[in-house]
């Protein structure tokens, strides 16, 4: 969803939770066993997809004469594919290289098919797809259900849906992101389901990202999330992310304020998409970068980085390549987490249930003054009676074991997070137990791709 150049000026208003005083134990029970909606049956994206996406960092830079390293061209995507393949990203699950807007020629070819800009993609998309596939990666591409893309390039009108689906399949594309600029609600209601059918009819597996809900306000009754789960693998609900902390906060607020409506829509094969990770760009501090990564993991969000992998700092790389955090995001149960508490002290607590009775907690500070010492207990956060192993995701430290009644204090930096991975155990309290047992458990619950 692009504000620039788009005739849809949707402003999505957030709502307050219906009952902020709800019993947390009941909330945890309901979320852990909430029945999910029927998912698109193409067998794809059973865990949130991961990879790299061009838009936020490189936008619509088409000036290859003066900025050849950064313009939207086959060189840029080959460079990023090399980095994913050679710098340890692919093995962690970052497998998609996604083209966004401004890749195409301004005209369709004589047969009415989309075609890439010949100067910027001289080898064509099939050559780029082979290059990416040869490195064990997948290629995503951008389209727009309308007369034009948001950047003014040829869009996909209703009569071109079948043609474009066949074209993408023939090129070897593995994912389509379909935007909605220059289309109306009636065209979207017809076009998004039609494209899903057309993609499936090609016989080539193509994951499908829909921007449809973002153009309809993001919430029921205007958005039918049951239908979306039947036709799309993921969808944009809200505004485009910008390279700023304010933008990240606005997204977190909207998803948290509307979590009762959005959470049931997510699950294996069908995901809410709060947009790209901007870690490693210019707008976030180190603490804020950790916060975005932690909160996106809580939301079971797709992890599409939009940064320059060629110049990424070691600090940004360490956050984005945190194996335990990725394992939490990729948990096969696929339950989207939620905000449990929003304290008057400007501390917020988020929680997500994981497989094998594990869970994760994020203590998030919206303060801007100094580190804040937050005091609580697991029982106050809705955990049932028992002993719990605790692992600090960012420090990599095994924490002292907690019972549900143990009072604890965490020090949270301004705009930062403390993130815990917890697992219940009856053995943890035994005298002399070796602390490596927790590390073994960490390895057990992370996604198999990391083992």
Active-site residue among 179, 281, 308, 331? 179
Is residue 318 located within the same domain as residue 364? Answer: no
Distance of CA 297 to the CA centre of its chain: 8
Q: Which domain holds residue 208?
A: 37-329
pLDDT average, residue stretch 163-177 = 98
Active-site residue among 174, 240, 281, 331? 240
Is residue 236 located within the same domain as residue 98? Answer: yes
Residue 426 belongs to some domain of the structure? yes
Is residue 261 located within the same domain as residue 217? Answer: yes
Residue 10 belongs to some domain of the structure? no
Number of domains in the chain: 2
Residue 9 belongs to some domain of the structure? no
Is residue 323 located within the same domain as residue 363? Answer: no
Give the model confidence (pLDDT) of 238-255 as tens digits.
999 999 999 999 999 999
Q: Please check the confidence at residue 141 and state whether its pLDDT lies above 80.
A: yes
For the whole model, what pTM was predicted? 0.89
From 329, 346, 370, give the residue that closes a domain: 329
Give the model confidence (pLDDT) of 374-422 as tens digits.
999 999 999 999 999 999 999 999 999 999 999 999 999 999 999 999 9
Is residue 56 located within the same domain as residue 175? Answer: yes
CATH, residue 54: 3.20.20.70
Q: Please check the confidence at residue 278 and state whether its pLDDT lies above 60.
A: yes
Is residue 43 located within the same domain as residue 144? Answer: yes
- Active-site residue 246, yes or no? no
Q: Would you state the pLDDT for residue 381?
A: 98
Q: Would you state the pLDDT for residue 56?
A: 98
From 294, 329, 364, give the residue that closes a domain: 329
CATH, residue 415: 2.60.40.1180
Is residue 354 located within the same domain as residue 259? Answer: no
Is residue 321 located within the same domain as residue 345? Answer: no
Residue 80 belongs to some domain of the structure? yes
Residue 27 belongs to some domain of the structure? no
- Active-site residue 392, yes or no? no
Is residue 288 located within the same domain as residue 390? Answer: no
Is residue 201 located within the same domain as residue 325? Answer: yes
Query: Do residues 293 and 323 touch, judged by C-beta distance below 8 A?
Result: no
Is residue 321 located within the same domain as residue 372? Answer: no
Output the average pLDDT for the chain. Answer: 89
Nearest to 225 by CA among 142, 333, 336, 141: 336
Number of Cβ atoms within 10 Å of the Cβ of 20: 9
Residue 411 belongs to some domain of the structure? yes
Residue 383 belongs to some domain of the structure? yes
% residues pLDDT > 70 (the chain): 85
From 307, 329, 351, give the residue that closes a domain: 329
Is residue 142 located within the same domain as residue 90? Answer: yes
Contacts of 76-84 spanning 24+ positions with Cβ under 8 A: 77/128, 77/132, 78/128, 78/131, 78/132, 79/309, 79/310, 80/52, 80/54, 80/309, 80/310, 81/131, 81/132, 81/135, 81/137, 82/135, 83/309, 83/310, 84/51, 84/52, 84/135, 84/137, 84/309
Residue 7 belongs to some domain of the structure? no
């Amino acid at each position: 969803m692009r504000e620039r150049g788009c005739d849809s000026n949707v402003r999505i208003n957030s709502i307050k939770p219906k009952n902020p005083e709800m019993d947390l134990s009941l909330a945890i029970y309901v979320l852990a066993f909430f029945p999910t909606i029927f998912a698109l049956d193409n067998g794809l994206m059973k865990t949130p997809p991961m990879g790299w996406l061009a838009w936020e960092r490189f936008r619509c830079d088409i000036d290859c004469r003066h900025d050849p390293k950064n313009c939207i061209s086959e060189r840029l995507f080959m460079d990023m594919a090399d980095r994913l393949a050679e710098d340890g990203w692919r093995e962690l699950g970052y497998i998609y290289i996604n083209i966004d807007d401004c890749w195409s020629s301004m005209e369709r070819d004589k047969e009415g098919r989309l075609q890439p800009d010949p100067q910027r993609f001289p080898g064509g998309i099939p050559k780029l797809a082979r290059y990416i596939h040869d490195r064990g990666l997948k290629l995503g591409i951008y389209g727009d259900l309308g007369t034009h893309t948001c950047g003014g390039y040829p869009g996909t009108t209703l009569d071109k849906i079948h043609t474009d689906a066949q074209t993408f399949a023939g090129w070897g594309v593995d994912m389509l992101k379909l935007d909605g600029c220059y289309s109306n609600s009636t065209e979207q209601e017809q076009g998004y389901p039609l494209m899903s059918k057309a993609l499936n009819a090609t016989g080539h597996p193509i994951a499908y990202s829909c921007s449809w809900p973002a153009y309809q306000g993001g919430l029921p009754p205007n958005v039918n999330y049951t239908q979306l789960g039947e036709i799309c693998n993921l969808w944009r609900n809200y505004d485009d992310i910008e390279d700023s902390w304010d933008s990240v906060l606005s997204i977190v607020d909207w998803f948290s304020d509307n979590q009762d409506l959005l959470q049931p829509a997510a699950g294996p094969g069908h995901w809410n998409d709060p947009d790209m990770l901007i870690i490693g760009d210019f707008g976030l501090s180190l603490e804020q970068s950790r916060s975005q990564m932690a909160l996106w993991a809580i939301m079971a969000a797709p992890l599409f980085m939009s940064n320059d992998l060629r110049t990424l700092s070691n600090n940004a790389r360490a956050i984005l390549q945190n194996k335990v955090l990725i394992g939490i995001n990729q948990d096969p149960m696929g339950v989207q987490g939620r905000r449990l508490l929003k304290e008057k002290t400007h501390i917020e607590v988020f929680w997500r249930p994981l497989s094998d009775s594990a869970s994760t907690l994020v203590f998030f500070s919206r303060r801007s003054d100094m580190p804040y010492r937050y005091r609580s207990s697991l029982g106050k956060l809705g955990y049932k009676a028992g002993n719990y192993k605790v692992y600090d995701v960012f420090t990599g430290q095994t924490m002292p074991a907690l019972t549900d009644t143990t009072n604890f204090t965490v020090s949270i930096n301004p705009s930062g997070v403390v993130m815990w991975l917890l697992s219940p155990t009856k053995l943890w309290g035994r005298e002399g137990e070796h602390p490596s047992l927790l590390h073994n458990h960490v390895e057990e619950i992370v996604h198999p791709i990391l083992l």
